[in-house]
A and B are shown apart, each in its own frame.
Chain A
Amino acid sequence: MSTATAKHHDDHGHDSHGHPTGLMRWVKSTNHKDIGTMYLWFAFTMFLFAGAMAMGIRAELFQPGLQFFQPQVFNQLTTLHGLIMIFGAIMPAFVGFANWQVPLMIGAPDMAFPRLNNMSFWLLIPAALLLVTSIFVPGGAVAGGWTMYPPLAIQGGLSMDMSIFALHILGVSSIVGSINIITTIFNMRAPGMTLMKMPMFVWTWLITAYLLIAAMPVLAGALTMMITDRHFGTHFFNAAGGGDPVLFQHVFWFFGHPEVYIMILPAFGILSTIIPTFARKPLFGYTSMVYATTAIAVLSFVVWAHHMFTTGMPVAGQLFFMYSTMLISVPTGVKVFNWVATMWKGSITFETPMLFAVAVVFLFTIGGLSGLVLAILPVDIQLQDTYYVVAHFHYVLFSGAAMSIMGGVYYWIPKWTGHMYDETLGKWHFWLTTIAFNVTFFPMHFTGLAGMPRRIPDYSQQFAEFNMISSYGAFVLGLSQLLFLYVVIKCIKGGAKASASPWEGAHGLEWTVPSPAPFHTFETPPVVK
């Protein structure tokens, strides 16, 4: 390796092979750490953008009547908020973690395919531009909901085609990225690191990558059928031509349900890393955690139609999907019990990452239990497409996925920047986020039960009080994320010097390299005993 580097020096006369500088450092980067950083900043930018849309939604819903947005614009806000949060914020953030952490955690020098890695990231930019600029085309952005059900989606204008194209590009990016992650994990682990010695975060990402490879082509299929229906006279989803609008829903949710786990399994991995560190105890039930994660992944492919209980499936289908959905709560429960058992009789401290991890276990379980309520088909008939569902998926996606990401950032940022973050501000960010999140979304359980449909710009007066509370919470929640931005920038610029292993209870290869992690790490593989 060192001879190769020396030869390179002679060829090009760069002063340092390892540290390209300027814009081209990022554009041409094949370094997993730089690409990871770009993924994380991209995700955070999209998070703020889609979050600003959510502020718009909550402003309109602050009180009954139409105040700020016409109904069509409101639908554009809800649709883009969903699409961008899922495909632009949560998924890229987890890929950012995978890029930074997987090689560091398994003792690999980089990802298996560094150039593909560069391509996966840079594909995100045109996709994001297509989604964002679709707001300005005639007719405005997509307004048929992030689920894009036909025939409504077929009615959409140019923005629908732009969004379909964007999702195709994002799908390619995800598949390429997943192949890269799987190959890295299988081929580049340090000697001695058997599969069952891998950190839990690496395990969850391995399984997530398989889910992505299996699910994204299915979405691409559904979207391609949609585009041929729109422009080339096919009738996949048009009953008048022998098609079926509900076919789209089956195909979409065959992708869509694994997608839900794509967004939560890496979060489980982050929790399974943070909790043992701050409990100063190894993860309880590692083996059963691996099996539970695998079980969740397999089951995620046989529960899709629980999103479609009101389409009027035959009774056998309804029963099958209700039972399989209920079953998913068993492995998910095992995970929660294992985390609690990991805390049990530990020596617990409450630094910001641990606060986030504890809050995620607590709040994610609320989302999990409301998911069990929704799995019960007769109850779902009342709750489908109401604010109860909105509450449910924000409890799993915001306080599950997004807050795990925040906890993960606080946990690993000393390794990434070489500085400790501001603990006081971090705790402020945590408490503001957690309290504002609950003020925003907990009342939605009540409005949903009482019968408020989702995706409506205006509502009857019985829902006024709870909506106003939700809106107040949302505004605080949104503003609190600017504090997060500040804490991160402050940490990059300076702060207390972080040692190689700043957390007392942390184990793992990433803590054996200096902080900040050098541009190239593990050029000689470490040996795991």
Chain B
Amino acid sequence: MNKRTILSFCAVFLSFLASSSVQAEYALNLRAPVTEIATQIYDLHMLIMYVCIAIFIVVFSIMFYSLYKHRKSVGHKAVQFHEHHMLEVVWTIIPALILIGMAIPATKTILAMKDTREADMSIKATGHQWKWEYEYLGKDVRFISTLATPQEQIHGTAPKSEHYLLEVDNPVVVPTGKKVRVLLTAEDVIHAWWVPSFGVKQDAIPGFIKEVWFRVEKEGTYRGQCAELCGKDHGFMPIVVEAVSEEKFNAWIASKKAAAAEAAASGDKEWSKDDLIANGKTVYEKNCAACHQASGAGLPPAFPALTGSKIATGPIFGADGKMLKDGHLDRVLNGVRVMPSWKALLNDVEIASVITYERNGLGNSTGDVLQPAQVKAAR
């Protein structure tokens, strides 16, 4: 291949880059930091990268100079040296000194990152396949946060929204200027909670609790994703954190509590079958469809079908009126193998609704109704 061909290749590539950069804003670097730690990481990365680029340029300038000047085709004769002890010592020691220079600021940042003492508030985040559950410790607020992007956008039948795949139904809300400690664990497999703008990424490990912290200085909405492969929908469990002023945060806590109280009250009344089915469809699509599929067909053998399932069409209660072991309600409340326990995640109304929906929708028609009060009694 001659030089012209190579040059024209490069020209085509560069013009391709140039033409597409006109259309789009390129994300080239770490996202803009909004915490002290993220700022330190950003600066650390820039420092290390510049040092690496400098080393790279020096070494390869020498190599390319040699490749150009010491060619056989320009008549260069090989000089037969093959050892130089001083040189070996020098190019061992200089990199070692550069490394020490890099290690010092990195160590400082690590010590700061690991210091979770004296937090102003704590949030427990639990990873589930494939959603996040948040509990504001001591504030009696608890909710599930799932992907809000509709399936139509993912499958290309609707135009993609601005925050495609990075939007949730219930964002985490935190006050600015406060040291927020996040306690991380998981229900089923390992997940990782990652918000790039905070410089926080921590694996959520089932059976263990790990801590991280952040203090957001700037109000805004910050988006992240699960960063540890956790199965089928690993790419579809984003994290959204809204940082607001302390007043707004307190108002938000109050509104969350009010909503929870209202939901609990609605569990005491008798529900109509149609209301339960309508409510159950929403609950099902948010929480169950990822595995059992929106149609109820499941993904056997990992995730069984609900349509025509022995459990979803069989009896819920035994002859003595008690909840049947391995019956429909037992499975939903207590889980089995990879099926999680929903006891703590859904309230009585939601569980009653979703079970009623599963028994009368998805191609099933048992005709029976499960009331929230029955769920409450069975807990």
Chain A residues engaging chain B, CB cutoff 8 angstroms: 64-67, 71-72, 75, 138-139, 143-145, 149, 151-152, 155, 157, 238-240, 244-246, 279-288, 310-312, 315, 318-319, 322-323, 326-327, 329-330, 333-334, 336-337, 340-349, 358, 361-362, 365-366, 369-370, 372-373, 376-379, 381-382, 384-386, 424, 427-428, 431, 435, 439, 446-447, 449-451, 453, 455-466, 469, 505
Looking at chain B's contact residues, the main secondary structure is: mixed
**Are A362 and B91 in contact, with the CB atoms below 8 A?**
no
Q: Looking at the assembled complex, report how far the CB atom of A177 sits from the nearest CB atom of chain B, in whole angstroms.
A: 31
Give the distance to chain B from A370, nearest Cβ to Cβ, in Å.
8
Q: Which residues of chain A come closer than 8 Å to B265, judged between CB atoms?
A: none
- Residues B67 and A450 in contact, CB atoms below 8 Å apart: no
> Out of B72, B73, B95, B224, which one reaches A280, CB within 8 Å?
B72
Residue numbers in B under 8 Å from A318 (CB-CB):
110, 114
Is the pair A149, B229 in contact by a Cβ cutoff of 8 Å?
yes
CB distance from B20 to the nearest CB of A (A): 5
Residue contact B41 to A381, C-beta cutoff 8 Å: yes
Assembly CA distance A280 to B206 (angstroms): 59
Of the residues A284, A336, A358, contact of B59 by C-beta under 8 Å: A336
Contacts of A456 in B (CB 8 A): 225, 234-235
B93-133 residues with Cβ-Cβ distance < 8 A to A are: 95-96, 99, 102-103, 106-107, 109-111, 113-114
A103 to B182, CA, bound (A): 59
> Which of B49-57, B274-282, B365-373 forms contacts with chain A?
B49-57
Known A-B contacts A239-B206, A373-B49; A340 and B70 likewise in contact (beta carbons under 8 Å): no
Inter-chain contacts of A322 with B (CB < 8 A) = 103, 106-107, 110
B interface size (C-beta, 8 A): 110
Can you list the 8 inter-chain pairs with the closest CB atoms, starting with the nearest? A239-B207, A456-B235, A450-B27, A312-B210, A347-B78, A369-B52, A282-B82, A345-B79
Q: In the complex, are the beta carbons of B113 and A378 less than 8 A apart?
A: yes
Give chain A nearest CB distance to B12 CB in angstroms: 10
A-B contact count (CB 8 A): 311
Q: How far is the CA of A245 from the CA of B92 in the complex (A)?
A: 39
Name B153's closest neighbour in chain A (CB-CB): A65
When A333-B95, A428-B1 are in contact, do A453 and B103 touch as well, CB less than 8 Å? no
Q: Known contacts A155-B231, A310-B228, A330-B96; can you find 17 more A-B pairs with CB under 8 A?
A: A66-B154, A67-B156, A75-B234, A283-B82, A285-B83, A312-B202, A312-B210, A322-B103, A326-B102, A337-B59, A343-B66, A344-B70, A376-B48, A379-B106, A382-B199, A462-B25, A469-B16
Q: How far is the CA of A144 from the CA of B162 in the complex (A)?
A: 30
On chain B, the residues within 8 Å of A238 by CB distance are 207
User: B188-204, CB under 8 A of A: which get 1 and which 0?
Assistant: 11101010100111110
- Given A279-B78, A345-B70, A458-B154; A382-B28 close (CB under 8 Å): no
Q: C-beta contact mask, B320-362 vs A, less than 8 Å → 1, else 0?
A: 0000000000000000001000000000000000000000000
Chain B residue contacts of A345, Cβ below 8 A: 66, 70, 76, 78-79, 81
